[in-house]
Amino acid sequence: MCLGVTAGAYILTLFALTHPRRVMGLILVSPLCKSPSWTEWLCNKGMSNLLYICGMCGIVKELLLMRYFSKEVRGGVDVPESDIVQSCRRLLCERQSPNVLRFLEAINGRLDISNSLRKLQCRSLIFVGENSPFHSEALHMTSKLDRRFSALVEVQACGSMVTEEQPDAMLIPLEYFLMGYGLFRPSHLSVSPRSPLSPTSIISPELFSPESMGLKLKPIKTRIPGQV
């Protein structure tokens, strides 16, 4: 069972196509499947040149953060950036520029695997934030997959990193997905407050369908007790 985000999702999809017997299911977050567009290629090339000349400078950090996080969590003049973005910024400072440069060059050289997606022999669940720069690519990938064995979940007010920005929005679709394999069994003694839509019986793989899982989820907001 594989989970990958953006470029990692591309690598795992390619692995599943090459070694179908080794992959049981794919959970892909803001996946890539096409070769880079001209705008993405130029952006990656510009970052590569900056990394080569200046190292991990402020412009490169901002471009990477814009790629992975929505404007809401990146903050602005009046809104401070979130803890997630601050942590990511610190991690980028610790990364060696040559390694990030190689990563960007590898992304720029990726091939289009759209025509091979119908050959996938495993089920796939795709998450994508509506503000992700890879949103259209996720929709394209979904259109190329066998609809009987794939589902798309679009998460509102979220960037590419759904796993970091809106992890709660992934819970219900993941529960349904794992039930299809018999890997998750909800408690019969109590109802999970996280999953009000979870059925009380195991869903057979034959019932796994986009209609039952392709939900358009609103961002989950939590409220501190006593807060108005």
Dihedral pair phi/psi, residue 129, rounded to 5°: -80, 145
What count of other Cβ atoms lies within 10 Å of the Cβ of residue 102?
A: 13
β-pairing, 123-129 vs 25-29, is parallel
With H, G, I as helix, E, B as strand and everything else as coil, classify residue 128. strand
| 112 vs 99: CA distance, rounded Å | 24
In this structure, are residues 18 and 8 in contact, taking their beta carbons and an 8 Å threshold?
Answer: no
- Average pLDDT, 10 consecutive residues per value, the chain (228 residues): 95 95 94 95 95 93 93 82 90 90 94 94 93 94 91 92 92 87 62 36 39 43 40
Q: What is the pLDDT of residue 147?
A: 86
Closest CA to 31 of 59, 69, 62, 4: 4
Taking the mean position of all CA atoms in its chain, how far away is CA 38? 22
Tell me the whole-structure pTM to 2 decimals. 0.79
Q: What is the pLDDT of residue 213?
A: 42
Q: What is the pLDDT of residue 78?
A: 77
